[in-house]
Chain A
Amino acid sequence: MAVKFNMALAGNPNAGKTTLFNALTGSRQHVGNYPGVTVDKKEGVYTVDDFSVNLIDLPGIYSLSPYSEEEVVARDYLVENRPDVVVNIVDAANLERNLYLSCQFMEMGVPMVIALNMMDVAAKRGIDVHHKKLAKLLGVPVCPIVARSGKGIKELMQVAVRVAEHHKVWQPLNISYGEELDSLIIDLKAKVEAAAFMTCDYPASWTVLKYLEEDDLHISRGDDDNPLISKELQKEVAIISEHMEQTISSAPDAMVADHRYGFIKSILRQNVMHYTIDQNRMHTSDKIDMVVTNRFAGPIIMLLILFGVYKFTFTYSAIPVEWCELFFSWLGGTVDSLLADGYMKSMLISGVIDGIGGVLGFVPLIMFMFFCIALLEDSGYLARVAYMMDRIFRTFGLHGSSVMAFIISGGIAGGCAVPGVMATRTLRSPRERMATLLTVPFMNCGAKLPVLALLIGAFFSENKAQYMFFLTLLAWVVALLVAKVLRMTLLRGEATPFVLELPPYRVPTFSGLMIHTWEKTWQYIKKAGTVILGISIILWAMMTFPGLSSEQEAVFTARQEAILGQQSPEGVAGLESGEVTAEGRALNQALLQLANVRSEAALRHSIAGQIGTSLESLSQYAGFDWRTNIALVGGFAAKEVIISTLGTAYSLGEVDPEATGSLAETLKRDSGWNKVKAFSVIVFIMFYAPCFVTVACIIKEAGHWKWGWFAMAFNTAFAFSLSTFVYQIGTRLF
């Protein structure tokens, strides 16, 4: 039986953690959540020799301070789960800064190995790292690797397993933080140990450091554990704080940080690093930045890149999208010919196949879009977008990092507001974060995309990409303006720090891109497959039952008989034998028209029809009829449902209820639809209440259900006003 170990991967953002994790676990990984928070928790399995290693990919962080969810998650994981070994990934080309986190791990005393990654990049930049010497001076094993090519990974894991086996006790590193602090630390540590203050979880020296750094999270835990000693520690820290302020105009936390870097510098100075190339020389990445973030060229390049993403997505996904549509049409036709008429067949075709098909048909489009986003992210360009956009975002009371949340939510059309709302957790200012998470649902997410694409395809097909691009800009303008209004009213307050790293440009790996793309597309498919299927069937039922009353049925039967009765016997015979005569055609026409009216009556009479009709008196101002209303109500559940509902509504109410023809064609032919109405509907869909999954996330992230209600009520009222405006003006102009 293999021995089991728990291993955590930790390191700075962009140090190559994900690359190493993928290289180690391959497909044997899954993404979950940390309890209580929504930071992704990636787990996987790796087997080496006789050992089976359980791998956890901790979020990328710069330090163990408590200012972001990621940092708190990483630090709590280490304390609560006590992994057998921590593999600390360090970027060899940016060693000094990366070792700051390593230093904090060592202060905690976790058993660890340093994986010195990016050795190839370091070599290219003329940085020579003597890893053996570094290991000796730090007292921690150091393994040089190239995560991207897999070089050194096997050795790394062997060393990690050895550490896990032999290094069972946490051994906190003691470094000097300056004479003044050192003596205080010794005092305080004795107090903490004497009172056994949080010592089951945290090493005493670490607790003292956290009090010196005035780490709110640790102090509040201390207050819960033993308020007396917690107060005493805080008092001592306050005294020395004041003293330092007066004598050297510094503070304990600054002192601690200074000495951590001092410790790192003192090690690196001992011949650990050698430069074979002048470090002031420009790297390729800097040269690219000279052009790409240039005052004049930068914004133009950015617009071109974003527009290129559209062109690429829309042009190249068209063919697979068509294949998908053909497949589902074929499937509908097959079921139609195989099954007998009845509720079962109607449910399968109108509920299941139309519903799922409408959503899955757009998977290629969404995949292409996610591929582009992964490309921008992995290459390092997305950080440049944040850098270039911050000045503008600040104007609207947001933060350069808000860009990420907006882009993930669909700023480059085709994201999802759910991860977008979650991505706001890296924003540290509560107000900027709230303003971001309340406005990201205005972006054109991947679920709205097919609906918008459908309407654009049907009514504005001449310039698809241009229209999509315009709608994306519109979403941005509206979201930013609403954010500004929120920041001036409900969320008034100061701006927060913008300290962002620009990672060097890298050529993304194909497999990395594929994994990203697939992960996100799979999330979409899973949502479509489960939630959407359920909702599609519920809606089918709402649109089918209670059906026509027996009196109404009788009326329709009578009318049908009347039509047949008007015909000459030859005509009836012709109809029955399938012979096409002019009279037969006219008869057919009359019968189909009647059937059409009949199913429309049935739908109007259904539960959904009743809701839609009762809303019509209000929604007519924006040009929405009851069918559109049903679809929009369905969209509360998930935006994709709008398509499946429209599909169901129209195929049920249409000439042939069993046909799964193209919805776009149906809408185009429908006399109730025109460009103005289509645009009014587009505007409403873009800005009305977010889907319930997003609302749930907003409630969780904002910490109060009232924000969920706010998002639903405010957005719907806002969207309706906008649509009404568009429709009223539009019908007068065109």
Chain B
Amino acid sequence: MDHTVVIPPDAQLAPLLRAYDRAVAAKHRQFFIGLAFMAGAFALACIGAEIDPGLFWEKLGNFTSYFNRLAHLDTGAVVLSDPAEWFWGLRRWTRLLGETLLMAYVGTVTGAVLAFCGCFLCSRNLVSSALLRIVIRRIFEICRTVPDIVFAMIFVAAFGLGALPGVMAIAIHTTGALGKLFSEVVENIDMKPVEGIAASGGSWVSQVRFGAVPQVLSNFASYAVLRFEINVRGAAVLGFVGAGGIGEELIVAIRKFFYSDVSAILVMIVVCVMLIDTLSEKLRHRLLAMDERP
């Protein structure tokens, strides 16, 4: 015998294997039903989205040539050979990028403050009125389901072109997104401190201020910073619909085939977003490690 495991006679082994196969077969069947379903959905979606692999192959050359053109100045030189010419609009683009960051900042702060005010009012453990909770929850839901750029289009019609509609769109979308996250944090707090404050005669506001806020503050700040990061990306494209920031410059450059401008602006956006990502990640780690100091 060169096996350490003794192989039992077939009569004994067969039922065991069969039972195993049956169990596995059930799983496999489920898997294949899922797969078939996916394949069907895939085919349907291909028709829906007018997918044309032939076109893709045919145009794939365009893709490389497009990036090739992005990498060259009008003169035909490679962009890196003449950075001053490539970034000829540096001052203007920096100003627009700064404007974009400010839009994201004002929108995030406004939205975070509104979400902060609303989140305690829609938390089951702090508010007993179901009506109030549901109303606020619905408002948050609508605010976050409608994409910010749709709000921006509507606000451009009302407020005219400029940063104002963009800021408002970001603020509203942020209110909805943060409101949901905030209220989830609030619903998971330890209620003992809140009860302690209530028992010593604190008003509802005091119960929230001293019982709930210290527990949630670092989490809230971390979520708000994350949201700022997302909003910077969002603000960069709000200009597509005339709502301020660097987006307007970018869409004009793309539409008018100013290739080197497109690549220059894209590089600036990417660097800026990456910088903010890194900073915000550091900040969030510090925030979560820190708690409210007296």
Does B associate with A?
no
Chain B residues with CB under 8 Å of chain A are: none
